[in-house]
Structures are given as structure tokens and as C-alpha cells.
Amino acid sequence: MGLDIRWPIGLMFSLIGALLTAFGAIKSADSQSLGININLVWGIVLLVFGAGMLIGAIKGKKNPPSA
């Protein structure tokens, strides 16, 4: 089968992470709790997770499992 669930998961988390990171960078003074920019931090976390999923999907396609 050609379906790899890592593609849509990676794209979704990367898109949301990019939007949240941009919003956190623009509105840095409004979204602080205890001096930490929550939107910026979690945007970066989502971007890293999404990128990891996309990298896994790319590497998985290069080496298909032998059945």
C-alpha cells in the first residue's frame, strides 16, 4: 500500500507550528506567561515534530520494506 500516515501528520503539524511561531514572534508581548513566550516555544516544538514526521516519511519511501 502506498499510504503513509506520516505525510498528513507532518504537514499538519508543520503548518500549525509555522503559524503559531509567526504569531508568537509578532505578538511577543501579548503572549507571555512567567516571562516565556508560550506561542513561540510551542510553535517551534510543533515545527520540530512536523519536520521529524516529514523526514521519516521521506526516508521510509526510499527504503520500502521487503515483504
Average pLDDT over residues 32-45: 86
Which domain, by its residues, includes 40? 7-60
Domain assignment of residue 46, yes or no: yes
Binning pLDDT at 50, 70 and 90, where does residue 65 land?
Answer: low
C-alpha dihedral sign at 19, 7, 9, 41: negative
Q: What is the tens place of the pLDDT at every residue in 3-38?
A: 789 999 999 999 999 999 999 888 777 767 787 888
16, part of any domain: yes
Spatial distance between the Cα atoms of 64 and 58, rounded to a whole number of angstroms: 11
- Is 2 part of any domain? no
Q: How many domains does the chain have?
A: 1
Taking 80 as the threshold, does the pLDDT of residue 48 lie above it? yes
CA distance 55 to 62: 11
Q: Using an 8 Å Cβ cutoff, are 5 and 54 in contact?
A: no
C-alpha distances in Å from residue 14, one per residue of 26, 30, 34, 51: 18, 23, 26, 6
Residue 1: pLDDT above 70? no
